[in-house]
Homo-oligomer: A and B are copies of this chain.
Amino acid sequence: MKNFRRRGREMVDYVADYLENIEQRPVYPDVEPGYLRSLIPTEAPLEPDNYDDIIKDVERIIMPGVTHWQSPYFFAYFPAASSYPAMLADMLCGAIGCIGFSWAASPACTELETVMLDWLGKMLKLPEHFIAGTHGHGGGVIQSTASEATLMSLLAARCKAVRRVQETNPERLEAEVLSKLVAYSSEQAHSSVERASLIGGVMMRKVPTDNTYAVGGGMLKKMLEEDRAAGLIPFYFCATLGTTSSCAFDHITELGPICNEENMWMHIDAAYAGSAFICPEFRPLLNGIEFADSFNFNPHKWLLINFDCSTMWVKKRQDIIGAFKVEPLYLKHENQESGRHWQIPLGRRFRSLKMWFVFRLYGIEGLQAHIRKQVVLAKEFESLVRADKRFEICAEVVMGLVCFRLKGSNELNQLLLKRITESRTIHLVPCQLSGLFVLRFAVCSRVTDSGHVQHAWGPSTSVSKAGPMQGRKCLVSCCRCKMS
């Protein structure tokens, strides 16, 4: 532990230095695939290496190949949350080093998780049936990612559907029933939703969206009628609140009652947008949650809790637990009801410590301020785009994501993105909307501020000439200039 005490303090300083000076690093690396292998021995050393050499190698080998997600110039994908309370809690979690696969394996690990999910559920004003409390039938669990939450909900729904069909038709074989089951999701849903159906071995149909890229009740209803007429069994609908491409919101107040009537499991995936529902002004977007069987979002995206922390609630935890319980003696314990059979991996870190530290050190108001600040920054970027007649906004800006493009061909926009990527000053990724190649500008880093947004758009008087960006290539609007 002497080593840890000394090197741990040094690492704290290294980390603090890295994060304090991150905007001086190019946000996107300038390396070719395979760059790392030539910098590193082909085998592990027989005897210990020198610690200082390893730290030097972090700068020499690792950092040149890192895409700096925490840089204020990172506007790609969605945020990867990071904050000092979460990092501290993660250190503690690593030290305790328990594997919480059952209550007995570390009671605090299971119990803090249940209570933190209740805290967060109340912050979101979830319906009472999602809160575990001391007597509830529902409750929450931490999954690694939204992909796993989607998969678990689909598998639980599959199990429930097969049982229901076989109850009324005991002669039908499981394989035959499975072949008739149909799951549904938006054509704009995340790729992991389709993947869940491949893993679960069931059909999935993609529901077309309206002109806001959202699914409405009418379209789902029409598909259900067709499929029932064809002898199929609709059993699951995955709604998305805040799609990956454009942050569109499926109309769950219309969809929920349909799912309930049709005996279909409704899962809501709000991976990115979910965090915003802690703000009263965004909470109406979650109306309709009362019809859902399960709900998931990723605090590790937008709620300042480092990856991984994907929170999932279910209306009846027995639906999830009952689907896959396999219990050998070495896992049995008197207090089995508090055990965990809610996820694919059996082992789990003490991740709720991160939630506890972040909620207590920010407070609800601090977290709301973080969400609101990032939405304002997205609106600021939207205004810059709208003020330039060469560009267009491609979807309503509701949260921290702006979808935009140059008026003109897809090729032109691909070229624009290529120029921006090659500048390595900001980082964006594209999406496709109605066949158009669109650029996504997502406000990601906790430390992004107006100066960074202004600079991302182009050289501006609002950025101090003496600032870290001095002499750098100019950006979105400027890459355009050079393209004519």
Contact = CB atoms under 8 A, between A and B. Distances in A.
Interface of A: 1, 3-5, 7-9, 11-16, 18-20, 29, 31, 33-37, 40, 42-49, 51, 54, 58, 61-70, 77, 80-82, 84, 86-88, 90-92, 94-99, 103-109, 111-112, 114-115, 118-120, 122-123, 134, 144-145, 147-148, 151, 155, 158, 173-176, 178-179, 190-192, 194-195, 198-201, 244-245, 300, 306-308, 323-324, 326-331, 335, 337-338, 344-347, 349, 353, 356-357, 359-366, 429-432, 437, 440
Contacts of A353: 62
A93 B323 CA distance: 34
A190 B345 CA distance: 13
Which of A37, A307, A363 has the most CB atoms of chain B within a 10 A radius of its CB?
A307
B199 A324 contact: yes
Contacts of A3: 84
Q: How many copies does the complex hold?
A: 2
Given A20-B1, A191-B327, A51 B111 contact: no
Nearest to A430: B329
Contacts of A300: 347
A37 to B, nearest CB: 6
A345 B16 contact: no
B199 A155 contact: yes
A107 B145 contact: no
A185 to B, nearest CB: 12
A15 B431 contact: no
A356 B57 CA distance: 11
Given A67-B105, A331-B191, A344-B148, A95 B134 contact: no
Given A4-B84, A330-B245, A360-B45, A91 B92 contact: no
Contact of A47 (B64, B86, B365): B365
A292 to B, nearest CB: 22
A8 B16 contact: yes
B87 A8 contact: yes
Contact of A91 (B64, B91, B97, B173): B91
A328 B429 CA distance: 12
A467 to B, nearest CB: 18
A361 B63 CA distance: 20
Nearest to A114: B37
B8 A12 contact: yes
14 contacts: A1-B20, A14-B95, A34-B134, A37-B111, A44-B360, A46-B365, A48-B360, A62-B108, A80-B98, A87-B91, A145-B345, A195-B324, A308-B347, A330-B430
B330 A363 contact: no
